[in-house]
Amino acid sequence: MININKLPIRILPSSSRTLVRPFVPGSESQVEHILSRIFSTPKSDRERIVDNLHKRLEMPHDISKRMFLIHYENMKPRIPADMELNDIDKQFIGAYFTQQYALESTALFNPSIVPHPVQDKDGVTRFIFSLRAIGEGHISSITFMEGEIDKDFNITVKDNSPIIYEPERKDHIYNKKRIVKKANDLEFLSKFNEPLFDLLSDEFTFDDLSSAASRLINSNIDNNHEELINSLDNIRKLALSNFTLIFDTDDISERALYPASPSQSNGLEDARFVKFTNDDGEITYYATFTAYDGKKIMPEMLETVDFKEFSVSTLSGSGAKNKGMALFPRKVNGKYMMLGRQDNESLYIMQSDDIHFWYDYKPLLQPTFDWELTQIGNGGSPIEIDEGWLVITHGVGPVRTYSLGAVLLDKENPYKVIGRLEKPLLSPAKNESSGYVPNVIYTCGGMVIDRTLILPYAISDVVTKFATISVDEIINSMKKIG
């Protein structure tokens, strides 16, 4: 029997933690009407209204003032240049184009943990973990927290900030060959939009793309205007789904990745973070996640070195489908490797020369035991240990009960399974079966320190907890295969 040390940490969703973001009215005319009514408000009333807002809102005065002024700047191009406005006037205008969104008011779950990029304490491992947050409209976001693990495996988690900020978009440089390849995989390329790429350099910005598209439209003399517009819109949407974001806050709990592209409009789900060691020894943090636009899902990837700046990319190829892709933490035999679940039932393994394109995939494991007969998948990226690649799995059994298991893959040939737990590592107990999604124990990634597995996991999508488990006990409990 494997001993599971369940820690007392309990991370719960909070409706008081809000994302402060711009309020965008439904139409251009509504914006003009709001501004007209704002300008009609007597100046004597504006200071009173702004002062009352600062007193009522559950955030420091300097933060609310800063956000109002930022959102005023969004409206500045619509305001007559000769209009004299003082600081209160600008805050007053910005307040009407500001909203708070309780992005984790409904649920907070499915954690993934990695070592912090900065390790500056002796005998302590700092870590960052991500969570899937659900708020109003059932929209999913990715939030972050951080904590520490001491030499005795005591874990502490830092308190969250009550305020969360959206990042700013940074100019993103597109690689033409990569975008063309992605467009081809999505069947977006056509005789109408292929000439667009003749107008672009090998590397280009979104402004370059928009300018080239306008030139193509203006030069069009055939009776295919509608087809041309639709085909160019597909390329624009693809470009908008590949972008760079940057945060200016130093508190990681003030950062959240909220839907920021057409493919993500209904949410970002279940990020699986991994600390990836490149061939040159440099470290990059990747996370595969599922983007959802309300109709279809799309595997996408985050890339960062500091958790302040993130590049977001779509993943392409016949293997880049369904949920639950998880990247190995380094190349194996010169190839990027990934776990997936292409048939929505079994665990698959993939390899590629390019981290953005996945075509070569093969079955790895099928549902076998009673607790996983419905489907199996991974519980995060494989973890390299002396014996091979330790993979935390999840299995779905009767009453759609989600349990966690574990398998061991050969280090040199990960296509080979050399060990597998026949019984779950973790299953919902009777007092853990009720919640937002009942009967679920789930994780998006753990890490190993000194032969101890650090495993954050969510219970019924309601509460996130931590467990520490001996790697030796896991390995010794496995059924040997091959």
Q: Can you read off the two tokens belonging to residue 326?
A: 């998880």
d(CA 290, CA 298): 6
pLDDT in tens, 268-279: 999 999 999 999
Q: What are 59-97's pLDDT values in tens digits?
A: 888 889 999 999 999 999 999 988 999 999 999 999 999
Lookup: tokens for 315: 């993943």
- Once rounded to an integer, what is the mean pLDDT over residues 120-132? 96
State whether residue 100 is helix, strand or coil.
strand
Least confident of 40-54, 104-118, 213-227: 213-227
Query: How many whole angstroms separate alpha carbon 129 and alpha carbon 465?
Result: 12
Mean pLDDT of the chain: 94
| Neighbour tally for 48: CB within 10 Å | 11
Q: How large is the average pLDDT for residues 411-430?
A: 96
Q: What percent of the chain has pLDDT over 70?
A: 100
Q: What pLDDT does residue 257 have?
A: 96
- Give the global pTM: 0.93
Q: Is the pLDDT of residue 419 over 70?
A: yes
Beta bridge partners of 164: 19
Tell me how far CA of residue 407 lies from CA of 343, 452, 456, 469, 474, in angstroms.
19, 16, 18, 15, 9
DSSP 240-281: HTSEEEE---S-GGGBEE---SGGGTTBEEEEEEEEEE-TTS
Q: What does the pLDDT look like over 218-234, one tens digit per residue?
A: 988 776 888 999 999 99
Containing 71, the helix (H) or strand (E) segment is helix 61-75
Q: Are 387 and 408 in contact (CB under 8 A)?
A: yes
Residue 390 has pLDDT above 90, yes or no: yes
Quote the percentage of the chain above a pLDDT of 90.
86
Report the C-alpha gap between 129 and 116 in whole angstroms. Answer: 9
pLDDT band at 112 (very low <50, low <70, confident <90, very high): very high
Confidence of residue 388 (pLDDT cuts 50, 70, 90): very high
Instruction: Please report the pLDDT score of residue 223 as a whole number.
Output: 63
What integer pLDDT is reported at residue 275 of this predicted model? Answer: 98
DSSP letters spanning 312-380: EEE-BSTTS-SS--EE-SS-BTTBEEEEE-TTSSSEEEEEESSTTB--EEEEEE---SGGGSSEEEESS
**Is the pLDDT confidence value at 479 over 90?**
yes
> pLDDT tens digit string along 327-342?
999 999 999 999 999 9
Q: What is the mean pLDDT of residues 272-296?
A: 95
> Average pLDDT for residues 4-24, to the nearest whole number?
93
Tokens of 202: 């090998």
Of the candidate ranges 166-170, 176-180, 249-253, 351-355, the one whose mean pLDDT is the lowest: 166-170
Q: What was the pLDDT predicted at 430?
A: 87
pLDDT at residue 236 in the model: 95
Domains of the chain, first to last: 4-13+107-166+246-480 (2.115.10.20), 18-101 (no CATH), 173-240 (no CATH)
Residue with tokens 């001993």: 3
Separation of alpha carbons 393 and 425, rounded Å: 9
Q: Could you tell me the two tokens for 327? A: 């990247």
For residue 162, what pLDDT is reported?
A: 87
Q: Which of 350, 357, 358, 361 is nearest to 180 (CA)?
A: 357
Q: Calculate mean pLDDT across residues 36-49.
A: 94
At residue 104, the pLDDT reads 94
Contact criterion met (CB below 8 Å) for 122 and 114 = no
Structure tokens at 189: 């390329």
Distance of CA 54 to the CA centre of its chain: 32
- For residues 61, 65, 67 and 69, what is the CA-based torsion angle, rounded to 10 degrees? 180
- Beta strand extents in 135-253 (DSSP E only): 140-150, 155-157, 163-165, 168-170, 174-175, 203-204, 243-246
